[in-house]
Structure 1
């Protein structure tokens, strides 16, 4: 089952996603897209790390989520230790930012970004284990002044729409409160995951 958790900054979306992962399985593979490039971001990452269980698996990947997702699934099929896992990816908007800021020029490489985004979505469709995706809802604010900032808002909106289209459940978190936009609002369990047709990895 694919879960998309949306929310603004400090909305509680990451905490909700982590709580959901804990309810779904004892085994969680956490894919982080952030990079510690300044003191504030290092502190933010450290806070997230301190709040996660130590036994969770960790993969840090800034760009090629499709490749890492495929690798996790292949490992789960051949490695019994890795089976039964839930995949938690936090977050998609940082992943987008990494791609838009990759180019040293003023123009982002949208062709490469689009290719990776499409590859990732296709891999999501093939994956049989539960996947929780965290992303920022950035379309509710004012239109940014800068060109790259406007491109980011546009691309983030299109990315969220594409993921929401393939997700079985979409939740918007506001002020720590989850609002179900798609799917069912209920306490999820391992049995629920099995009934959905997506067996844990």
Structure 2
């Protein structure tokens, strides 16, 4: 599994996208003694179920990829990439969908206006393009199903589609995961 300079991994829930990101991180860490890898986790423990899910993911990840460090960053993702990206340091973002959720529908109240979200997406794509080190970005593809009821949910689905398109445009590889299998959508690596 060859690592691209930047890869966007999309898929539905339990499609294998996080597992692919972990395999890429493990391969990166094993490729050279000076390599480092950090997972930038965007999830926040809003309730007990989410707390338990995060804890389970942390334990599973530590077992599968022992050298993978974790950094929690729910909102400042563009700045986090700029601060931590280095040629010998792989950054894995899991996941872009939760990052967008925090911008648009935060647990504590109203989200950012659409223009501010668009600006955040632009900053993210600029950070991806400027990153000196390798990146793996994980996100959900949720636009394949029925059109959701409710204005806010439709706005979120639309914005997620724009986020995925913008990130795919600046990444050198884009992969769609289904049933644990990768389908390469783009590969300029």
* TM-score of the alignment, normalized to the shorter chain, above 0.5: yes
- Whether 2:102 is the aligned partner of 1:93: answer no
Instruction: Find runs of 4+ consecutive structure 1 residues off by over 3 angstroms.
Output: none
The correspondence of residues 154-193 of structure 1 with structure 2, limited to 5 A, is 154-183=158-187
- What aligned pairs does 1:1-150 form with structure 2 within 5 A after superposition? 1-26=5-30, 27-53=36-62, 54-73=66-85, 76=86, 84-102=88-106, 104-105=109-110, 108-150=112-154
Kindly state the Cα deviation for residue 108 of structure 1 after the two structures are TM-superposed: 4.4
Give the secondary-structure state (helix, strand or coil) at the position aligned to 2:7.
Answer: strand
Distance 2:138 2:115 in 1: 23
Quote the Cα distance in structure 1 between the aligned partners of 2:137 and 2:187.
15
Distance 2:56 2:18 in 1: 12
Across the two proteins, how many residue pairs are aligned to each other? 176
- CA-CA distance at 1:60 after TM superposition: 0.7
What is the Cα deviation at residue 41 of structure 1? 1.1
Structure 2's unaligned 5+ residue stretches are 31-35
**TM-score between both structures, scaled by the size of structure 1:** 0.82
The answer as to whether partners of 1:30 and 1:58 remain within 8 angstroms in 2 is: yes
Instruction: Render the CA deviation track for 1:124-143: whole Å, top value 9, x for unaligned.
Output: 11112110000000110100
Q: TM-score, normalised by structure 2?
A: 0.87
Give the corresponding residue for 2:33: none
The separation in 2 between residues aligned to 1:183 and 1:52, in whole angstroms, is 27
- Counterparts of 1:183 and 1:25, CA distance in 2: 22
Structure 1's unaligned 5+ residue stretches are 77-82, 185-195, 197-201
Partner of 1:191: none
